[in-house]
Amino acid sequence: MATELENRLRSLGIELPTLPTPSTTYAPFIIANRTLYISGQFPMMGEVLHYPGKIGGNLSIEDAQKAAHLCALNILAQVKIACDESFERINRCVRLCGFVNAVEDFSDYSKVMDEASNLMIQVFGNLGRHTRSAGGVSSLPHNACLEIDAIFALEDEEATPFS
Amino acid sequence: MATELENRLRSLGIELPTLPTPSTTYAPFIIANRTLYISGQFPMMGEVLHYPGKIGGNLSIEDAQKAAHLCALNILAQVKIACDESFERINRCVRLCGFVNAVEDFSDYSKVMDEASNLMIQVFGNLGRHTRSAGGVSSLPHNACLEIDAIFALEDEEATPFS
Amino acid sequence: MATELENRLRSLGIELPTLPTPSTTYAPFIIANRTLYISGQFPMMGEVLHYPGKIGGNLSIEDAQKAAHLCALNILAQVKIACDESFERINRCVRLCGFVNAVEDFSDYSKVMDEASNLMIQVFGNLGRHTRSAGGVSSLPHNACLEIDAIFALEDEEATPFS
């Protein structure tokens, strides 16, 4: 699956970012009961946070969209490592939850979160379609503008997961 | 189950709202590993958002309670469709999470969220009792005052799920 | 497991708080599909909320850290009851999600949430490592400064879960 995922990403021209050093107190992902839980991911390239601040404040919708794409790339980078370690297979993306650091009158959630959702569909096809929740937060770790966590379903069947 | 659920709702005099057109980028619900995940639901009647704005601002507690009831009805409407498609059975409601668009000094969460929780208990009996989390958000998609997502457990046993 | 957990806590000198009276409309925990979901826990000692207010406002980082520790103790107290009722065994801590009632320019999430994360690792060893998400909320139930919910994986195997 990791190889398949790598091939898939390569064919789509998607390059995964280097992941930041994991926290010593929590895990970037956990697999339990055939479910892959991924910690909230930030718009990081390695150790560098991109687009810090508040959407609708110092950041435009376009900044927020790039941040969402970067969060989703970090999610995929975690999925890739999780596959290697588990030898299990991704069945599908189940859920994305977005914590959006935006000004009080912000309501363009779809424009921002769709960037992350569309990447999942681009990579996993119909099995990338997921449930989604999103809400506005007053602040975030690292002064990030966006945090997205994810749940994937795993299975150990041989069939290719890509639709 | 869908028929049972329909009968149950009819006997309770509960009419489900027409669901809004689903997003093209995410799914209203996903079933994976015998778990039904439902995307954040809003106080919608079809395409129309009710009670837009901020609880404690332009909206009263009573408005917020009606919004919570409507979010919960949309959750039930998704459950009904999910049952039809999956041929699986609802075992129980597992979790509701409320994203509450309220003013900073708001703390009457129980009054609002209980409207959603009570509907689950009314419909599913003891199996409607769920875990719950809720927090105040600075804004929401569509300028909604409330978003509630849900998790249900499924099983394919024959026993009636209603207690 | 409950006995093991009690012994483990005793050996660590950890005393669990009395739990508050449960809500009539939602459950403090639900077990479904070998997963233990725990409702958002607050910094409560029995019926008394500690450290009410806003982190970075009337509350210091040290207050918030004590609140996080207390939320985590309440999570463990729920785990203990859940074990007794289910006769199932905790496999591992899977996820903590923190709703942090903080001022807008707050970004010291790690300092606060690590108090909860470290307690899980202290009690469950390597199996206490979990995924984590956290975001700033504008307000919380009871005017709490922090709410943390949790997911644990269960298994019914005989092997001791402690690493």
Of residues A142 and C3, more confidence is placed in A142
Question: Is C160's pLDDT higher than 60?
Answer: no
Cα–Cα distance between B28 and C80 in angstroms, integer?
35
Q: Which of A11, A134, C43 is nearest to B39 (CA)?
A: A134
Averaged over A21-46, what is the pLDDT?
A: 96
Q: Which helix (H) or strand (E) holds B97?
A: strand B89-101
pLDDT in tens, B57-75: 999 999 999 999 999 999 9
pLDDT band of residue C112 (cuts 50, 70, 90) is very high
Would you call A40 and C107 a contact, using CB atoms and an 8 Å cutoff? Answer: no
Interface residues of chain C, partner chain A, Cβ below 8 Å: 33-35, 91-92, 94-96, 100, 102-107, 109-110, 113-114, 117-118, 121, 129-138, 151, 153
Whether B162 is in a domain gets the answer no
Q: Which residue of B has its CA nearest to C32?
A: B153
Task: List Cβ neighbours of C16 (8 Å cut-off, separation of 6 or more).
Answer: C9, C73, C76, C77, C80
Would you call A95 and B30 a contact, using CB atoms and an 8 Å cutoff? Answer: yes
Contact B90, B130 (CB under 8 A): no
Residue A84: its pLDDT value, please?
A: 74
Residue B64: CB atoms within 10 A of its CB come to 28
Whether B134 is in a domain gets the answer yes
The CA distance from C11 to the nearest CA of chain B, in Å, is 30
The CA distance from B51 to the nearest CA of chain C, in Å, is 19
Q: CA-CA distances (angstroms) from residue C146 to A23, B22, B68, B139, C10? A: 21, 34, 23, 19, 26
Give chain A positions within 8 Å (CB) of B142: 107, 109
Would you call A27 and C131 a contact, using CB atoms and an 8 Å cutoff? Answer: yes
Would you call B26 and A131 a contact, using CB atoms and an 8 Å cutoff? Answer: yes
Give chain C positions within 8 Å (CB) of B94: 30, 32, 37
Q: Which of A29, A30, A105, A146 to mutate to test the interface with C (most CBs of C within 10 A)?
A: A30
Question: Is B142's pLDDT higher than 90?
Answer: yes
Of residues A59 and A2, more confidence is placed in A59
Whether C82 is in a domain gets the answer yes
Residue B129: its pLDDT value, please?
A: 97
Would you call B153 and C38 a contact, using CB atoms and an 8 Å cutoff? Answer: no
Would you call B26 and A106 a contact, using CB atoms and an 8 Å cutoff? Answer: no
Whether A56 is in a domain gets the answer yes
Looking at this predicted complex, what is its ipTM? 0.92
Of residues B156 and A71, more confidence is placed in A71
Whether C161 is in a domain gets the answer no
B150 by DSSP, 3-state: which? strand
How many degrees, rounded to 5, is the angle at CA C112 between CA C121 and CA C70?
A: 70
CATH code for the domain of C57: 3.30.1330.40
Q: Would you give the DSSP letter of residue B53?
A: S
Interface residues of chain B, partner chain C, Cβ below 8 Å: 33-35, 91-92, 94-96, 100, 102-107, 109-110, 113-114, 117-118, 121, 129-138, 151, 153
Give chain C positions within 8 Å (CB) of A142: 107, 109
Give chain C positions within 8 Å (CB) of B95: 30, 37
Domain count, chain A: 1
Contact C78, C29 (CB under 8 A): yes
Q: What is the pTM of this model?
A: 0.94
Would you call A102 and B138 a contact, using CB atoms and an 8 Å cutoff? Answer: yes
- Strands (E) across C42-105 are located at 44-45, 48-49, 89-101
Whether B38 is in a domain gets the answer yes
Question: Is C43's pLDDT higher than 50?
Answer: yes
Averaged over C47-69, what is the pLDDT?
A: 98
Whether B45 is in a domain gets the answer yes
Q: CA-CA distances (angstroms) from residue A110 to A14, A56, A98, A133, C99? A: 22, 14, 11, 11, 22
Would you call B27 and A131 a contact, using CB atoms and an 8 Å cutoff? Answer: yes
Q: Which residue of C has its CA nearest to A78?
A: C131
Q: Which residue of B has its CA nearest to A118?
A: B25
Averaged over C25-37, what is the pLDDT?
A: 95
Q: Which residue of C has its CA nearest to B54?
A: C138
Whether A37 is in a domain gets the answer yes
The CA distance from C93 to the nearest CA of chain A, in Å, is 9
Return the half-sphere exposure (C-beta side, CA atoms, 13 A cut-off) of residue B53: 11
| Percentage of chain C exceeding pLDDT 90 | 82
Cα–Cα distance between B5 and B81 in angstroms, integer?
11
Domain of residue B127 covers: 2-155
What is the rounded average pLDDT for all residues in chain B? Answer: 91
Question: Is B157's pLDDT higher than 50?
Answer: no
